[in-house]
Each structure stands twice: as structure tokens, then as C-alpha cells.
Structure 1
Amino acid sequence: MENHRSSAPEPPQKRRARRRRRLVIASVTGCAVLGGVLVLLPRERDGAVPPAPARPPAPAPGPKAQARGTVTAGVPAALPDLAALIGERERHLREHPLDAPAWAVLGTAYAERARRTADPAYYPKAEKALNTSLKVGDEPSAAALEGLAALAVARRDFPAAQEWAENARELEPRRWTTHAVLLDAYSGLGDQEAVTQTLDELTKLRTGQPAVRARAAAVYRDRGWREDAAAQISDAVAGAEAPAERAAYLEQAGRLAFERGDREGALRHFQEALRTDPDQRAAQAGLGRALAALGRTGRAVEAYRTALAKAPRPEYALELGELYESMGEERQAREQYGLLRERVRRATAAGADEELVLGRFEADHGEARAAVRRLRAEWERQPGIAVADALGWALYRAGEPEEAMRYAEIATDAKHGGGVRSAEYVFHRGMIERELGHHGRARRHIGEALRINPYFSPLQAPAAQRALAQLGEPSVEGPPVW
């Protein structure tokens, strides 16, 4: 499958030189921020920081050690354990500020907490801690580089994620967690060939491990292999050892079920995820999605509000706003859209890239041409399938269906890289085709969207039904004879 990046592949020699420069820059930056990070660490006592001993003591057993094991092993940690780990590493580093591995663990834990809680304040803290690990270490650390890659993925900065993760892989080629982060980076960049190769390498390194099965399920989903994806995530759930890990895989199983229109199955997965780990906040938003599809809108609103209170992600505010809009509650919808803009502003200030969700919002609820400008820039930087769909839809909404069709094809045609069976993507393509006068293809694709998932959106699914009714049935007379 083709890679959608517009630029030609960079020569290996130039790429290696660029990576070396980046490591030097990181080391210099780490020197500058070491004191700043120590200032950020909450102090328990006044006075000078004592020098680090030759052999720093190991962390105490219990939740902190368990969280450290999950953070460094590429599986989700329970939020209370993660908080305990962060507190323990902060205390340790006040006494041992030259412990490079401890800085790497702390930075990775900060990044994971930011990802789980949607609190952008942890992004700069993670970056400073990880850069400090590179500075105080005797040599570049694969753990710190991988942590920077994971942080970049959380910020949706996929070019940086690729660069950091490839640096880490060069240092430790058999470090399987690095391959897992690379999968996220390559997927975000639309590099399907690299995704395939990296998944093969990851599977060879850790065959049968639940975390690897979950990664494989995500790749299979993107290829449209729904049964294979469901089988992989089911095995991951069965093999998970810790509650937080099992809950994360149940949430992923719920998303897969919802995408294929299985409202009841999705609801069961999300409920079980929350019973297993009440801090599984993505499952809380998924619960709102499933309840809305089942017509239980009051409960859905409650679920979304709970999710937003615990993890105020802009996409949750967009989903709740659209649910309110479908219910005729315009004031509450505007309130959520305002919250979305505020959350995007805060995340952007902390170095995150929220152009995709903001572009999607602008296309349907704001200024379509502004959405096009944002999403064009995003496509140039990281041309993933989700960006192709969003840009195509924004162009359609801005009155440019001919160009929109190019991106809709990328998002929905397997030979262009868009193998995922997404009702939303196929609906968008069908509406663009209708605007272009290709009524047969429009009827086929809009109908396919409703067959994939009749409940894919509280606003767009009813629009799909109306559009299909307006297109009418195909002619039974056949083409005219001339």
C-alpha cells in the first residue's frame, strides 16, 4: 500500500546525521532544563539537594513498583498506581538528581498520565524529565528516546514520534515497546508499508503477548479486517493480567463493536471495562456513544458529562455537542463547542496538535474554509487516513467537491491506503459523489455506510437516511438504447 507523504524518501546518511543532531540538541536542552525540572518537583523539605550515590536504592514494592513495571512494559497502569509511581520517582530524584533511568521512568509516567487524563499540564513536565534523562546519562538512553516518542504520539506529533522511536530502535533493535510506539507513528503518517513491516517485527519479538495482540487488532481494524481485529482483541482481554490492562482492551473491543453497529455488544464491553477499572475514562465516553445509539439520550448525556469531568478531551465535547444538537438543545450544544475550543487552546499551548478535531468541528459547526486551511496544513505534515477523510469533508462543505473526492478516495479505498470500514468515511464519500452528480455511486456508498453502522453519528446518520431517500431507488429499466 502506498505511503501518502508527498516528499521523496530521505537518504539514510542524511537521516542518520539528522538524528545525531537531534540527540545533541536534546542533550543541550536537557542541561538547560535540569534545574527547571527540579524546581517543578514538589519539595518535601528545604535545603540543598544531596549528591547521588553510586547505587540508587530500588523503588519500594507494591503499587509503585507495579506501575513502574507496566509503564516500562508498554501496558496500561492503574491511575492510582501511576500517581504513586510519580510521587515516588519525584522524591527519589530530589535526592539522586543524576539518576538518568529514574528521569526516564518519571518522564514516561508523566506522558502516560497526560494521555490517560487529558491533562496537558503533564506534557511539558514529561518532555523536561525525558530530556534531562538524556543529559545526565553517560550515553543516549533507548528508554528516554522511546518515552519522547510516546509523548509525541500523545501530542499527535507523528513526525517527531517517528524520529524519536527510530533513534531508540537503532540503539536497541530488539526493544519491543519501541516497535509498538513506531506503529502509532507510522499509522499517523499514513505509511502503511512501514506499519506492516513493524507489526511483523513486533509479532516476532513478542508472539502472543496481550499488548501485541491489542496492537495487531488496531492495525487489522485499519485494514478493514474486522473479524481478525475482533479475534485479536478478544484474546488480548483474555490474556490481560492486571485490571487496568484488561479494561483498556475491553474499551478497544467496545469501539470495534460500535464501529460495526453492535450497540448492545459495545455497551457490554464499555460497562465491563468500567467495572474492571472505574478510571477507564475512554470507556466512559464510549458508554455515552453506545447509549445514544440505543436512544437512551438522558443516560448518554450523563455518561459524556462524567467522561468530560474526568478526561476533558476536545473530541468528547464535540460528540456531546452533536448529541445535544440532535436533541434540539442548541444552547447546551454551543456550551460544549465552547469547551472544545478552550480545551484545544490549552492542549495547543502545551505542545499538542489538535488540528484534526478542530478542523472536523469547523467543517460542520464553524467556518468550512478555515477547516480546509487547517487540514491542508495537517495533511502536508502528517497525512494519515483520518486527516484525508476530514480534509475531504471540509472541502465538500466549502463547496469544492472535485478536490474533496480525491481525499475521500484515499480515506475509503484500500488500494489508496484507506481499508478501514468506517461508516462516517463512506458516508462522506457518498455525499461528495451526490454533489458531483454520481448518483449511482452515491446511493451505493451512503447505503453501505448505514449497513456498516446505522448509528454512527446522531447528526450524520439521520442525514444519511434522508440523502438515501432523496436519491430514491435505482432505475430498473436499464440504460437508454440509442
Structure 2
Amino acid sequence: MWRRGIAVGVTAVALFGLGGAFGAAPGAWQAEPAYAQGDPLVRSIEQAQARLRDVPGDWTTWAALGGAYVERARITGDPGYYTRADGALRESLRLHPAGPAADGTATGAGTGSGNHGALTGLGALANARHDFAQAERLARQAIAVNPFSADAYGVLTDALTQLGRPAEATEAAQRMLDLRPGLPALSRAAYDLEQHGRVDEARTLWTQALTTAIAPADLAFVHHQLGDLAWHGGDLVAARAAYQAGLAADAGYLPLRHGLARVDAASGRTAEALAGYAALTAALPTPSLLVEHALLLRSLGRAAEAEAQLTLAQAALDLLATGGGGDDLAAAELALARGDHATAVRLATAEWRRRKHTDVADTLAWALHQAGRSAEALPLAKGAAALGARSALYAYHLGMIELALGDWAAARRDLARSLDLNPHFSPVDAPAAARALASAGAR
């Protein structure tokens, strides 16, 4: 039917307070904010909590609650949900400790009767915390208990993708699609197509996914993906239309606001873009968004405001660490934005040792280039582009590295490609690409 894989939507952590640990004792609940009470996910959390107050030994509901907390963390960016998810999932395993042994056989209650739900939830939590190797181990344990768990294959697909093992990720995603060909599997398939440069096929699959999306949040998610495809292709009109369609389905889906802010900036609607970024980073101050906001401010000559955003980005990374997570890739991007190239190299190198994802290769290549080590950067930059992703940023970085090494023909080719793909890809780097291309063309 389909032979492709996907990357994970890694949890981005915002500047929220921890909100209290989940607590090991059953019944240690925390009420959701009033604005979230109408959310179906919040209702499912409340129903699970009510069930566990009455039946605290219900290990399946503990596992479901833990999984819901992981999803809630993804949506809100609140790292406090990590702690609560971990507590709920481990309580489920305490009550029903059956699971696979290291050799893949099940222990406890016996093969096929283990607690695959809790193992899958812990795997999703590990992915969210960027511990992809642990996520792979947990997903494989869950699959050993229940070979028919589509959710476990989803966790495995995400982990393998981020670890830079696309062939294995493709196989896992295919198995997920075979087991349950719904939106989660289709989304992984579409992302993999995009990563391999097969954008038209990815768009077709996302359009197909619209037919399976019913909930407003699902519709918003798919429209967001279609908008991003248009954005990365430089089509501002189609991108804006997709983002607005998503907001019509779910006005609270924040990534759509991010898409519109980028489109506004690229369209010369500077006031609207700045207002959009300010509102977005206030609601969801993730490191990447804060750095992006800072770069826009810097491009407009507002250096002090840009530095304030970078300071908040560091605080967001610190908060992620308090929730048991880590993101050396985002930390490297922050170091690059601050001009601390040595730190960026160190952080990106550490991330590269853990996983061979193309984003990591690209960031490490750029950090090495900025640190004056372009010859070391070139193989990494070429490797980032080798999978086929149509990324203007990858092409720009490769072209600038080639330019530094005196390969004018290659530099002209890749700098032109970056602008052909998306002439608006960055308020800082797109103009730099145009200047560098003009310089390379004169040689």
C-alpha cells in the first residue's frame, strides 16, 4: 500500500511552572485550567481521574491517563505533565508489572498479557523528552508484549526517525499503517514522503488525511501540515489559506498562528508578524519559537528586544531540564543565534553522537562552518541533503560552506536552489543567500 516512514513531532517545552508533581499516591490530582475545560482531552483526563478515585487499582486507566498527560504536554508545552505522566505510567506498571524481558520475551503475567499500554506511554514520554534510544527500547518491549499495537509502532517509528535510521522507521511505519490506517499512520507516511523530497505525494496524502480527520484539533493539524508544505515551497497564498482553514476548524491550535506569523513577515506585514510572534511566544514560549522571534527582531534592528527573547529561550531550555528532558539541538541553535560558535559545536556534536538525524547534521555543519571549520562541515552538510528533503535552509547552509571553500559552481547551484525552494525561508538567511549568490555569480 505504502512504503514510507516519518519523524516525530517532538514536544516543545514552554515557560510554565511545574504545577506540582503527579505524586505516587493515587488521588494526587490537579485541576485543569478553566479555559481548557471544554477540551476533549481534558475531559478524558478528568474521566480517568474520576475512575481512579473509585478504582485505584485499575492499571489500564492509569496507563491511559499517563498517555493523555503526554499528549497534554505536547499541546500545552507544560513540562509538569511529564512528571505526572511518568507517575501515572509507573503506577500502572506497579499494579501490573508484566512486560518483556531484555531478550524480548514477556515476563510477569505471560506473553501477550503484559502491560504494553504503560510501556508504550513511557516510550512516548521518552520521545517527548528527546531520549530516543530509550523510546526505541520501550517501544520494542511493548511490541514484544503486543505485536498488534499500532500505538507502539508509532512510538517506534518516531524514535527510529529521530535516531537517523530511516529504513527501519519506514518498516515500522508500514506496520503501523497495516494495523490501523488512520490519521496517526497517514501523518507519518506523509512526513516521510516530504523528507525524501516527494512533496507532491506528501500533499496528496495530507489531503487524503483530511477525509479521516473529524475532530476540530485533527482538522487543524492536517491544515497546518498542508500550510507548512506550501510555506516550504514558497507559496505564501496557499500557505495563508491553509493556516486560516485550520483556524476556522480550531482557533486555539497555536502552530497555525506560527504559520501565519511567518507568512506575515514574508509578505511585508511587519506589524502583524511582530504582534503574532509576541502573542505566540507569550502563550507557548518554546526555545525554537523564541529564537525565531529574536531573529526577526534582529533583522529589523531591534537588538535589545531580540536579546530578551534569547534570554527567555535559555530559560525555556533550563525548564525543560527540570522536567527531565533535554534538547541539545535547540541549545545549539540558541548558541548560534548568540554567536557562541564553540558552544554550538560542542552541543551539536553531543547531539550527533546520540542520533544521526538530518536536522542534527545540518546544525552541526553550520556550527562548524561558523567556527571556521568549513572543511569538516562539508560532509555533514552534504549528508543532511542526501535524503532528499527540499529544505531551503539545508541548501543555504551547504551553499555557504561551499562558498567558503572556494567551490563557486557548487555554491551558486545550492544558493540558487535555496531561494528557488523558498525565497522567504528566513528574515536573516534569505537576504544573506541572495547577497552570497550575487557574490558567487561575480566570480
The TM-score bracket by the shorter chain reads 0.7 to 0.9
Aligned partner (choices 311, 319, 324) of residue 338 of structure 1: 311
Range with greater deviation from structure 2 (272-281 or 367-376): 272-281
Alignment of 1:388-467 (within 5 A): 388-413=361-386, 418-467=387-436
**Partners of 1:426 and 1:446 within 8 A in 2:** yes
1:411, distance to aligned residue in structure 2 (A)? 0.3
> CA distance change for structure 1 residues 389 and 372 in 2, over 3 Å: closer, same or farther?
same
**Partners of 1:188 and 1:382 within 8 A in 2:** yes
Amino acid at match of 2:154: A
**Partners of 1:210 and 1:240 within 8 A in 2:** yes
Query: Which protein is bigger by CA-based radius of gyration?
Result: 1
Alignment of 1:26-425 (within 5 A): 36-38=24-26, 40-42=28-30, 80-137=39-96, 139-140=98-99, 141-207=115-181, 209-413=182-386, 418-425=387-394
**Partners of 1:211 and 1:236 within 8 A in 2:** no
> CA distance change for structure 1 residues 78 and 445 in 2, over 3 Å: closer, same or farther?
farther
Distance 1:186 1:78 in 2: 35
1:131, distance to aligned residue in structure 2 (A)? 1.2
1:262, distance to aligned residue in structure 2 (A)? 1.1
> CA distance change for structure 1 residues 203 and 132 in 2, over 3 Å: closer, same or farther?
same
1:34, distance to aligned residue in structure 2 (A)? 9.4
Aligned twin of 1:46 = none
Consecutive unaligned residues of structure 1, counting only runs of 5 or more, are 1-32, 44-76, 475-482
- SS of the equivalent of 1:437 reads coil
- SS of the equivalent of 1:38 reads coil
TM-score (norm 1): 0.80
1:412, distance to aligned residue in structure 2 (A)? 0.7
Aligned twin of 2:103 = none
Amino acid at match of 1:436: L
Alignment of 1:462-481 (within 5 A): 462-472=431-441
Range with greater deviation from structure 2 (357-366 or 418-427): 357-366
Distance 2:155 2:260 in 1: 27
Amino acid at match of 1:41: W
1:428, distance to aligned residue in structure 2 (A)? 0.3
Superposition CA RMSD, Å: 1.9
Distance 1:125 1:398 in 2: 41
> CA distance change for structure 1 residues 184 and 78 in 2, over 3 Å: closer, same or farther?
farther
> CA distance change for structure 1 residues 42 and 197 in 2, over 3 Å: closer, same or farther?
closer
1:138, distance to aligned residue in structure 2 (A)? 5.6
Distance 1:243 1:296 in 2: 28
Deviations, residues 71-97 of structure 1 (Å, cap 9, x unaligned): xxxxxx997122222223223323322
**Partners of 1:34 and 1:132 within 8 A in 2:** no
Distance 1:155 1:455 in 2: 31
Distance 2:338 2:73 in 1: 28
Percent of residue pairs bearing the same amino acid type: 36
1:210, distance to aligned residue in structure 2 (A)? 3.0
Distance 1:120 1:126 in 2: 10
Distance 2:239 2:134 in 1: 34
**Partners of 1:89 and 1:102 within 8 A in 2:** yes
